[in-house]
Amino acid sequence: GEDVEQSLFLSVREGDSSVINCTYTDSSSTYLYWYKQEPGAGLQLLTYIFSNMDMKQDQRLTVLLNKKDKHLSLRIADTQTGDSAIYFCADPGGHGSSNTGKLIFGQGTTLQVKP
Amino acid sequence: DVKVTQSSRYLVKRTGEKVFLECVQDMDHENMFWYRQDPGLGLRLIYFSYDVKMKEKGDIPEGYSVSREKKERFSLILESASTNQTSMYLCATQTGIVPYEQYFGPGTRLTVT
C-alpha cells in the first residue's frame, strides 16, 4: 500500500540550515505537503509543491521534489528556536487529486534547535 | 481565519466507558476528518465525512464510530473505550479549493485507564 517515510528526529544549532527528508510510494499525487505541529497545537500547512515542479522557494523554506526517486525534502535556512516543532510530510497517495481529502502522513520529524 | 475547535483538550476515561469527542468548524467546509496521533506512527485516519450524514472508514476505524448530523459538527465516538485507545485525537477540515489545505483543531489527549 501507499507509504510515507520520514526520520524521527533532527537536531541543529540556531542559524544552521535544517533539511528534513521524506520518501513516498505513490507517484500519482497532484500535490505534496509539509505540515508543521508546534507544541500543544494541531497541525498547520507550512508549504506544498505541485507535482510538476522540482523546487519551490518561500522565504526561508525550500522544497525539493525528486519524482524519479519519490523523494521530498524541506530545507529551512537560518533555523531559529521558534522553528522547533514536528514536521510532517503528507501525500494524497493513490487518490491522485488532492480534493478527495485523504492524506497519508509520514511519522513526523521532530526538529530540535539548540541556541 | 478558519477555526476548528475540539470539545476538550484533556480527557480521562475508564475502560468500557462510552466517549464522545466533538469537533466544530466555522468555515462551511464539506470534508471533515478524525485522526489519531501516536509517537513514531504519525497521523492515522480513523474516519472522514464529505457531507452531512455521509461517512467513510479510514485506515483504523475499528472500535470507533462517527456522527455528522450538521455540516459544522463531526463527532467521534468510542463505544467502549479501551486502554489501547489512549492517544491524541485530531480533528481536521479541508477546503474545496487548491491546494486543498487541511485545518486542524488543537487536539484532545485522551487517557483510558
Q: For residue range B49-90, list pLDDT tens digits in order.
A: 998 988 999 999 999 999 999 999 999 999 999 999 999 999
Which of B35-53 are b and which e, b meaning 16 or more Cβ less than 10 Å from the residue's Cβ?
bbbeeeebbebbbbbbeee
Instruction: Please tell me if residue A107 touches chain B, with a CB cutoff of 8 Å.
Output: yes
Instruction: Please tell me if residue B33 touches chain A, with a CB cutoff of 8 Å.
Output: yes
Mean pLDDT of A29-41: 91
Average per-residue pLDDT in chain A?
90
pLDDT at A101: 66
pLDDT at A94: 56
Share of chain B above pLDDT 90, in %: 84
Phi and psi, residue A98, nearest 5°? -70, -10
How confident is the model over A48-92, as pLDDT tens digits? 999 889 999 999 999 999 999 999 999 999 999 999 999 999 998
Number of A/B CB contacts below 8 angstroms equals: 59
Is pLDDT of A96 > 60? no
Which of 53-112 (B) contact A at CB < 8 A? 58, 90, 92, 94, 96, 98-107
Instruction: Please tell me if residue A88 touches chain B, with a CB cutoff of 8 Å.
Output: yes
Question: Which residues in chain A are closer than 8 Å to B57, comparing Cβ atoms?
Answer: none
Distance (Å) from the C-alpha of residue A106 to the closest C-alpha of chain B? 6
Task: Tell me the C-alpha distance between B80 and B12, whole Å.
Answer: 14
pLDDT at B49: 94
